[in-house]
Structure 1
Amino acid sequence: MIEISESVTPGRSPAVRKAARILFELAAHHEAASFGELSRRLAMPKSSLADICGVLLEAGVLARDIDGRMQLGGRLSEIARGLVGGTPLLELFHAAVPHAEELAGRTVALAVLSGLDAAYLSVRPGERPLPLTLKPGIRLPAWSTGTGRALLSTLPDPVIREMHTDAPPLSPSGQLFDMERLIEAVGLARARGFASNADLGEMALAGTAAVVYGRGGPLAAVGSIVDITSADAGSDAEAVRALARHLSESLRREPASPSEA
């Protein structure tokens, strides 16, 4: 998860820094939050918080729930669209997942590689609660997740090694990073067409994921996520691969966006 420290580069756009902290805090939790809750969690004065939230509400980046609490707003989907090359992948994902019958009841997620993290852009919640509530905006170390491993598998091994040379992101579950284990995992993902983190069970979750390709190459990864104790972590592999193929084919049929032209 991203943390914005007030002590780093002090004095540089403090209001922007505070706005980023508010967005990341809301993204990290499933529930909407009141001003009082956010003020306590962020150690931020209510007056300052109210001013910044007011601007974010006007911009549509934040929204109020029925009880007036703060939650992420709809305009973030437009920002997320930029993370998938300006393509309609998010809309295609939302339309396709309900028809993936083999994944009925599963949590299904769409993620992109952001630095060393898998950043989740969209999540269709499953029928069973998971040990970690996944929602758009959450970021987890790519090396420890199924979607992240799928995305890393599109890169050459030397690039993966170079990326993780200095201080790989820590696992929320306390898993220890192992370069050779990661290289083995992404090699296996390339060979079989899907990735898994069942050997780690990050946050007690097992993910099975496959890459979605746009016209310019790898764009995102789509994956199913289950409680590692509840099912065979690889049982969704073919259904996930089929969903990734469908999304890739749908993208090829779409008119090229300005960024792809």
Structure 2
Amino acid sequence: MTMYNESSATIPSLIAGTNYSFIIIPIDTIGREGPPSSLIQYIWNVPAQVVNISWDQISSDSMTIWWNINEDTTSHYPPVHYIVSVHNITINTTDTNVTINGLYPNNEYTVYIKPVNAIGEGPLINITVNITERKTTSTNVDLHDVSVTEERSSDAITTSGNNRLMTTSVSLTIFVSVTSSSVEPSTTPSSSGSMNSSLLFSIFGSIGAILITCIIAIIVILVCIMYKRKHKSKYEYIVHISCIINIL
């Protein structure tokens, strides 16, 4: 039994893992003892090993690891913090999870977790993890979302003359860019529209030829009239017209 004159006491030299029981008895100034307190049991021990460890790789060089506290507080004092170590990395944390950076892909690592309290370090536990290289996911681009821009860097020129043929080559640069909206399909003119256009060109060409012929005929008549006025005979006039018509 130890006597204390204060309302608190420090008990040294306790042994880890030992179960201690305490009773507090008040004593007055003349040495009379009062009723004792209820039995106080205290386990002087390091924290228990952590449980339920899980992990997840979040990038090619980092991972996050989680664990839970052992709820058996009847034989162990709860941890105050944790020491997490892997390779040459050591992290002290008060949380039950930690993110570890600076790892190398395509390697296997052993992660150690140790709980710590005021008494000392608890039992160590480890888990083996595999860090893989995360590949960039390629995105397939829909053809309807692609616009193509043609940049002509030079023109094509073909020249013929005097039995010579000169050709300048054409180089094209194609730029492909993805747009947020779909490219509307272009409308191709129908074959009937092309036939109608060709028919119109033929009609206008025929009318033009007729007009040119009429103009030439009028000019010929005027020339003949003028020629007649120059005292040509009627026979020569008719022969001249016939020659002109044959030429046409």
- Shorter-chain TM band: under 0.3
Give the number of the structure with larger relative contact order, counting CA–CA contacts within 8 Å between residues 6 or more apart.
1
Provide the TM-score with structure 1 as the length reference. 0.18
Provide the TM-score with structure 2 as the length reference. 0.19
Larger radius of gyration: 2
Q: Which has the higher helix share?
A: 1
Q: Which has the higher strand share?
A: 2
